[in-house]
Structure 1
Amino acid sequence: MKFTLGIAMSPLDQLTELARTAEEWGYSSIALPDSLFYSEKVSAEYPYTPDGSRMWNEDTPWVDPMVAAAAMGAVTSHIRFYTQVLKLGSRNPLLLARQVGSVANMIGNRFGLGVGLGWAPEEFEWCGAPFADRGKRVDEMIDVLRLVLGGGMVEYHGSFFDFDRLQMSPAPSAPVPLYIGGHSPAALRRAARVGDGWTSAMIKFADLRSTITRLDELGAFDKPFEIQAVCIDRFGLDGYRQLADIGVTDAIVVPWLFYGVGFDGPLQAKKDGIRRFADEVINRL
């Protein structure tokens, strides 16, 4: 099982040094969060907390994940980066394909695209995208991204996106992995159908195990398929062994939280947490 460093809600001036440290201590990837803006009022509940509240406020720091991947990729040599997850529904697939292709080329094919629909109607509407039919729109967006990033002259004629022959150069020299987020039945079907993996939000072990079983039933594992998990009730060597046993291939962790350092904690304390977790878990597992 691999370990990915989660950097959500860390100050932006810490990110490049966290990336260097994670690479040095054997983490496989860095998970890049996505938040477009903080709306003062929101007309939907956040789906991944018990009471539907957001875990951040208007002052919480966020960076565009493409910018973060380029900046951290420039100071590292082999650690990978993936969005976890990028809110696809509020974006334009052609503009996004340009960004993804640029990042993948600039950091040597060390980039994966994790996507979800997005949950807040305001993010869709204020970015000019309809909230209605978002699932069908996202399915077409995934088709467009795969098509354009595959290289060559292509065209697409769908219900939501329609363009004649075009080409973006250079295309990535290797396929960009696509990971599908979301816990709904539709998200799991999408992951099994078109994804190279499924990526979780915060989830308990029992729910994670049943989700992996469902993905198996849907045929996800008929091809190479990753399970990236943020499990909130399994920790330590025994806990991560249990995750590996049920099929988790990539555990996403925020090591400094295990040692009493908050999201906005000092850089040196976070680096110490990265090293300590590597010694206590990664190297021993």
Structure 2
Amino acid sequence: MEDALPTYFLSHGGGPWPFMKEQYGSTYDVLEASLADIPRQVGVRPNAVLVVSGHWEEREFTLSSSAAPGMIYDYGGFPSHTYQVKYPAPGAPQLAARAAILLAQAGFNAGLDPNRGFDHGTFSMLYPVYPQADVPVVQLSLRHGFNPQAHVDAGRALAPLRGEGVLIIGSGLSYHNLHQFGPGGRLASHKFDDWLRFALLELAPSERTGALLHWDQAPYARMAHPREEHLMPLLVAYGAAEHEAAACVYHEDEFFGSLAVSSFRFGQARQP
């Protein structure tokens, strides 16, 4: 797919972090720089962004279809100003409908939700990428049950959008155990991240797909992801570029002092 945009699996960080510079200091500097570099890698302004958010689950794959999505402050205990932030990107109802048709053609009962707004898996991640909020955005939910094959197949179904100027981003975290989000998570995050980078960067595509479909057999998998909603966006982004080269576009070994975390691109960068 020579003219296709790459796809991404990106860490969206914790809560409304881009709007808390005073509180977090330099904690998110490396992640922020990696996100800010994505427009350079993509090389063109996308016609739209399709975000698979780890913070939205439905019985069936569902797409936000509002022309002007609102905000969903799906976090708690943060400063009051973080419940007033806006990411006023337009929606893209035609893209939502097109994606629903592609999913339906692949055998999924895809739905449209005209009331769904942007959750922080979308706006916290996209703010450093497109701070002007001038690129239309559609969110795609996960499918309840988190069947890995279904999420890879959904990515395969959506792959044609890449040739239509749509940037597909899976938004989650490569390590997501909130009960061990610190020194207690060091071993699990490092072992799982080592496996994930090996699987994505070293294995042949056929072996790579099999490894992802059986991700829960990886070292420390269930300690890294007790519940896999923050990993499933990876499978959709991967499925949309299954046979293309992967690159690690963000990595830290000491995130929050101890955690290993990574983000990935699938397909070639197209920087001008």
The normalised TM-score by structure 1 is 0.30
**Which protein has greater RCO, CA pairs closer than 8 Å, 6+ apart?**
2
The normalised TM-score by structure 2 is 0.31
